């Protein structure tokens, strides 16, 4: 019997991953806790089944002699010590692209919400100010997504899904990435490859789809914002760390940008987070959701199915899918 130590609630597993494979014993570990506590709670584990933002550090990995697989339920794995796992012959796997369509849908949702100032309108109407907001929108106006120039920073699985959705809206599309898309994809969706400077100069909307790496931390900052068009819409459904919070808050308060964010750093945020201390004008220009883009019911069911497949492969002595630590 393989022991699986799972860091999310049993209710979640029973709802979305109830068809657990035979030959596995699941035990549930409540987080957060110290590494010392984790070592004790993970004792005897063959598999750690964790969330994409759970810390699995070197000391924990080294203390588990039976460990064979660390499986992230989602796409993220940047909180896992990949080198330590590799040194101890432990596979680290994610579910790459499992929620690409879900996250892409949410990115488009945030674009539309920002263009229509949806969150503000909804809040004002529910506070009994229908007539006031009706008149305000007639004066200030709002715009359509179709015809907008949208720049994507990162065109992996999620970015490609966003491109397909926005192409249907009739958007003008351009992107930058460390790896260029194939020519066929660019031509099919009329997608222009360019650099940051042109994105900042020409795009009405900038949508970020990059992982957390040294070169992407703080990518949205005072200097990059200064190069962007006035009233540019910044969409972040990737990771909160790519945004400098203080700089974005200043740009929202000044009226330079509009933003739609599904992620924030750190998570969970403190009550005095810069984006929670905006002026009234700044608040109108920000739409937020609680890191929910990739967690649709449909995506969760796929995540469990793919994760269980990897567990079975490891149990049977086979190589799992979506290895991220080079084993």
Give the catalytic positions in this structure: 239, 267, 291
SS3 23: coil
Distance CA 210, CA 104 (A): 13
Question: Any idea what the Cα angle at residue 149 is, between residues 143 and 153, rounded to 5°?
Answer: 120
Distance CA 157, CA 251 (A): 30
What sign does the CA torsion over 194, 154, 171, 290 have?
negative
Closest CA to 38 of 3, 13, 6: 6
Q: Which residues contact 288 (CB under 8 A, 6 or more apart)?
A: 260, 261, 262, 264, 275
Chain center to CA of 191: 23
Distance CA 62, CA 70 (A): 13
Report residue 195 as tokens: 């650099």
Q: DSSP characters for 147-161?
A: T-EEEEE--SHHHHH
Whether the Cβ atoms of residue 175 and residue 155 lie closer than 8 Å to each other: yes
Cis peptide before 135 (omega within 30 of 0): no
Strand segments, DSSP code E, in the chain are: 2-6, 24-28, 47-50, 69-72, 91-93, 149-153, 172-176, 191-193, 205-208, 232-236, 257-261, 286-288
Number of residues in the chain: 327
Q: Which residues contact 125 (CB under 8 A, 6 or more apart)?
A: 133
Q: Which residues contact 69 (CB under 8 A, 6 or more apart)?
A: 46, 47, 48, 90, 91, 92, 93, 310, 311, 314, 320
């Amino acid at each position: 019997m393989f022991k699986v130590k799972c860091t999310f609630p049993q209710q979640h597993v029973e709802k979305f991953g109830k068809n657990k494979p035979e030959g596995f014993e699941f035990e549930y570990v409540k987080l957060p806790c110290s590494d010392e506590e984790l070592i004790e709670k993970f004792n005897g584990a063959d598999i750690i089944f964790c969330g994409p933002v759970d810390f699995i550090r070197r000391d924990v990995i080294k203390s588990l002699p039976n460990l064979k697989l660390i499986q992230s339920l989602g796409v993220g794995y940047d909180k896992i010590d990949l080198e330590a796992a590799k040194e101890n012959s432990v596979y680290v796997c994610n579910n790459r692209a499992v929620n690409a369509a879900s996250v892409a849908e949410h990115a488009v949702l945030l674009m539309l919400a920002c263009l229509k100032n949806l969150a503000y309108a909804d809040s004002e109407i529910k506070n009994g100010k229908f007539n006031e907001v009706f008149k305000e929108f007639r004066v200030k106006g709002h715009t359509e997504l179709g015809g907008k120039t949208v720049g994507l920073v990162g065109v992996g699985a999620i970015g490609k899904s966003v491109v397909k959705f926005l192409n249907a809206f009739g958007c003008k599309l351009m992107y930058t990435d460390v790896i260029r898309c194939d020519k066929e994809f660019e031509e099919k969706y009329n997608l222009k490859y360019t650099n940051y400077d042109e994105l900042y100069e020409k795009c009405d909307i900038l949508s970020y789809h990059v992982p957390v790496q040294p070169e992407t931390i703080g990518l949205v900052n005072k200097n990059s914002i200064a190069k962007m068009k006035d009233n540019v819409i910044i969409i972040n459904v990737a990771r909160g760390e790519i945004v400098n919070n203080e700089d974005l808050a200043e740009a929202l308060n000044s009226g330079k940008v509009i933003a739609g964010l599904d992620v924030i750093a750190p998570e969970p945020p403190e009550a005095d987070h810069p984006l929670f201390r905006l002026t009234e004008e700044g608040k109108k220009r920000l739409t937020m959701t609680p890191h929910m883009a990739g967690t649709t019911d449909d995506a969760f069911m796929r995540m469990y199915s793919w994760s269980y497949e990897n567990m079975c492969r490891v149990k049977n002595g086979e190589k799992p899918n979506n290895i991220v630590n080079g084993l």
